[in-house]
RNA sequence: GGCCCCUUCGUCUAGCGGCCUAGGAUGCCACCCUUUCAAGGUGGAGACACGGGUUCGAGUCCCGUAGGGGCUACCA
């Protein structure tokens, strides 16, 4: 596939284990994954837990679950292993310390003894770190260290000149070195910062293409300088656009619950998509189509098809408002196109979670009635839960459901009671036969189809909105259908 | 504030100088179909942020302005 690079393509997703996975992070990972798969390369998961304070136990499991659900397979990482591990940064501390020390020895980094208070003062007087320890002598530094003073290691950023970075979707980006600070490479607790750790790891893990969110663009020149100070050949870089809130204002946040225009809360965390009843294929399709497009004006495509076409260069550099409304549509497309057994298998746990005991054969008969009616898997409960409830416990719905528009209680009773013998006489209780016979019946008694069919629907399903009436009655069977109609008649009589 | 990135219908996008009287999708509206709800069909409204250049010709290239986003931590 790749005909211009001899080195194998290796991309990585390197999240901090700070809790549930945010859809924005997953999208960044997705682009790196698609790129690796397109080129037949490897996709690596690395956990960046160098900030102990922010680490949340169980995060790794959540990340792995999200990837598995979406079908994004990981070639190397914690749990799966690989030749370049460990894949958790807190287990690689020695490596970072070695290289930080090397930089100090070669004079491109230095020990800085400024205290938190010193830094706070500098910030208060309106500026960043003033580089006060950048040029102290080695003896001075040794003396301070011998006194037990804590220190960090900072990078000696060039004070003048420019650094030019090449971004695969933006081209050259030029920065003034004087704008950059002497970033901390190694913290006083011996842990590296992101700046050092990711470079050491990307180098040692032979990452060929760094894909990360645009918020890293401002520190791009710093990273370039560090790569060069280390004397390592750089990978290629791509800064990916991010997801904005649905209204286009601000980066999509997992902290603040977002609401779509219709007032529905917007799924942002990976597990929320599962809980909301979305299909993983639909979510993948949805995510892939933001900031990248399939071409040919196609909106619905498989992950495999996307892999065949995906190019990082084609990614739109602009951030996007989170187009969540499109996911409902896409999801409904996938539900419509799903095979009956497949959809039944996915619907079953949803119904069970709602408290229904699901009979597989019954479910398979019901599914075809549902396919054009469900936006999400969860919709099955309101639309067709009644099929799976205890039939013996069925009760007639309230009168306002039973009595159709432009009808009253007496009219409803007339229509329903007259329908019973007609249904009883049928040789064939199939929906089509029912339909034609009931249409004729409606004409006979002078009511509209909608009034007759609607009355039956309400009597038999207990709902105003349901799958088609006659298909439903066919599944329920003649005996049960008529029993329910009788229950409705009784209810109308009692309430009259 | 400084620095960096971005800017086509409400939204996601196609467009990489003439194929654009700007295409698709979603959402919205109307009509058709119709036993509810959907689905489906047909049609409609809807965008090149603005101003300068460059060019025979600019949505497409350059500059500026405006707007949006991000960074500016011993967080990533």
Each residue's pLDDT tens digit, A77-104: 999 999 998 999 999 999 999 999 999 9
Which pLDDT does position A127 carry in this prediction? 78
- Nearest protein residue to the C1' atom of B75, measured from CA: A51
Question: If you average pLDDT over residues A36-64, what whole number do you get?
Answer: 95
User: Is A319 (CB) below 7 Å from strand B?
Assistant: yes
Q: What are the structural domain ranges in chain A?
A: 258-338, 341-495
Distance A441 CA to B46 C1' (A): 47
Could you check: is the Cβ of residue A194 within 7 Å of any atom of nucleic acid strand B?
yes
Higher pLDDT, A85 or A209: A209
Mean pLDDT of A386-414: 94
- pLDDT of A27 > 50? The answer is yes
Fold of the domain built from segment(s) A258-338: 1.10.1160
pLDDT value for A2: 42
Tell me which of 1.10.150.120, 3.20.20.70, 1.10.10.350, 1.10.1060.10 is the CATH number of domain A341-495: 1.10.10.350
Distance A393 CA to B47 C1' (A): 56
Instruction: Output the pLDDT for position A3.
Output: 46
Mean pLDDT of A409-432: 95
A47: nearest nucleotide, CA–C1' criterion: B76
| pLDDT score at A476 | 97
pLDDT tens-digit readout, A168-194: 999 999 999 999 999 999 999 999 999
- Mean of the pLDDT values across residues A448-461? 96
Query: Any idea which nucleotide's C1' is nearest the CA of A243?
Result: B69
A114 touches strand B (CB under 7 A): yes
Cβ atoms A241, A317 nearer than 8 A: yes
Q: Which residue has the higher pLDDT, A265 or A214?
A: A214
Measured to protein CB atoms, the chain B nucleotides within 7 Å are 2-8, 10-14, 23-27, 34-40, 68-76
Q: Mind listing the pLDDT tens digit for each residue in A319-363?
A: 999 999 999 999 999 999 999 999 999 999 999 999 999 999 999
Name the closest nucleotide to A297, judged by C1' and CA.
Answer: B24
Contacts of A478 (CB under 8 A, 6+ apart): A423, A424, A426, A429
Q: Mean pLDDT, to the nearest integer, of A34-53?
A: 96
Asked if the model's pLDDT at residue A316 lies above 60, the reply is: yes
Whether A254 sits among the annotated catalytic residues: the reply is yes
User: Residue A433 above 80 pLDDT?
Assistant: yes
Residue A128: the pLDDT is: 86
Question: Given this model, what pLDDT does residue A258 score?
Answer: 57
ipTM rounded to 2 decimals? 0.95
Percent of chain A at pLDDT > 90 equals: 90
pLDDT for A261: 54
Q: pLDDT (tens digit, 9 = 90+) per residue, A339-350? A: 999 999 999 999
Provide residues 25-84 of A with CB closer than 7 Å to any strand B atom.
48, 50-51, 54
Assign A41 a pLDDT band (cuts: 50, 70, 90).
Answer: very high
The protein residue nearest nucleotide B15, judged by CA to C1', is A295
Q: Which nucleotide is nearest to A220 (CA to C1')?
A: B4
- Provide mean pLDDT across the span A397-417: 93
Mean pLDDT value across residues A201-206? 98
CA A454 to C1' B24, whole Å: 39
Average pLDDT over residues A103-131: 91
Give the pLDDT confidence score for residue A248 in this predicted structure: 86
User: Mean pLDDT over all residues of chain A?
Assistant: 94
């Amino acid at each position: 596939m790749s005909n211009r690079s001899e080195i194998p393509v290796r991309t990585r997703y390197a999240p901090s284990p700070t809790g549930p996975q945010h859809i924005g992070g997953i999208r960044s990972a997705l682009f790196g994954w698609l790129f690796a798969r397109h080129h037949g390369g490897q996709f690596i998961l690395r956990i960046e837990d160098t900030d102990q304070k922010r680490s949340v136990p169980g995060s790794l499991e959540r990340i792995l679950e999200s990837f598995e659900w979406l079908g994004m397979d990981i070639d190397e990482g914690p749990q799966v292993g690989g030749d370049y591990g460990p894949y958790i940064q807190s287990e690689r501390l020695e490596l970072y310390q070695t290289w930080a020390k090397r930089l100090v020895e070669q004079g491109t980094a230095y020990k800085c003894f400024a205290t938190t208070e010193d830094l706070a003062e500098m910030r208060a007087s309106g500026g960043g770190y003033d580089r006060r320890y950048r040029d102290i002598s080695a003896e001075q530094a040794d003396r301070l260290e011998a006194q037990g003073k804590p220190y960090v290691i900072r990078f000696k950023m060039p004070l003048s000149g420019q650094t030019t970075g090449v971004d695969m979707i933006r081209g050259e980006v030029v920065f003034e070195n004087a704008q950059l600070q002497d970033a901390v490479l190694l913290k006083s607790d011996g842990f590296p910062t992101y700046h050092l750790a990711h470079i050491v790891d990307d180098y040692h893990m032979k990452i060929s293409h760094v894909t990360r969110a645009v918020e890293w663009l401002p520190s791009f020149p710093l990273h370039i300088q560090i790569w060069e100070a280390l004397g390592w050949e750089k990978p290629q870089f791509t800064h990916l656009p991010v997801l904005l809130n649905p209204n286009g204002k601000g980066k999509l946040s997992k902290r603040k619950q977002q609401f779509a225009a219709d007032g529905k809360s917007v799924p942002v965390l990976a597990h929320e998509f599962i809980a909301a009843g979305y299909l993983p294929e639909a979510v993948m399709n949805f995510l892939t189509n933001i900031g990248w497009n399939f071409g040919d004006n196609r909106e619905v495509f498989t992950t495999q098809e996307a892999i065949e076409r995906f190019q990082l260069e084609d990614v739109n550099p602009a951030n996007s408002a989170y187009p969540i409304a499109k996911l409902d549509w896409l999801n409904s497309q996938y539900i419509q196109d799903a095979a009956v057994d497949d959809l039944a298998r996915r619907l079953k746990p949803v119904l069970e979670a709602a408290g229904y005991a699901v009979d597989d054969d019954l479910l398979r008969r019901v599914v075809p009635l549902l396919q054009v009616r469900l936006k999400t898997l969860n919709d099955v409960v309101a639309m067709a839960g009644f099929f799976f409830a205890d039939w013996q416990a069925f009760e007639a719905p309230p009168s306002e459901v039973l009595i159709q528009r432009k009808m009253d209680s007496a009219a409803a009773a007339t229509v329903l009671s007259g329908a019973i013998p007609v249904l009883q006489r049928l040789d064939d209780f199939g929906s089509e036969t029912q339909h034609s016979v009931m249409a004729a019946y409606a004409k006979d008694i002078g009511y509209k189809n909608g009034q007759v069919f609607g009355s039956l629907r309400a009597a038999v399903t207990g709902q105003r909105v349901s799958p088609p009436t006659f298909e439903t009655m066919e599944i329920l069977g003649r005996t049960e259908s008529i029993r329910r109609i009788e229950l409705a008649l009784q209810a109308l009589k009692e309430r009259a």
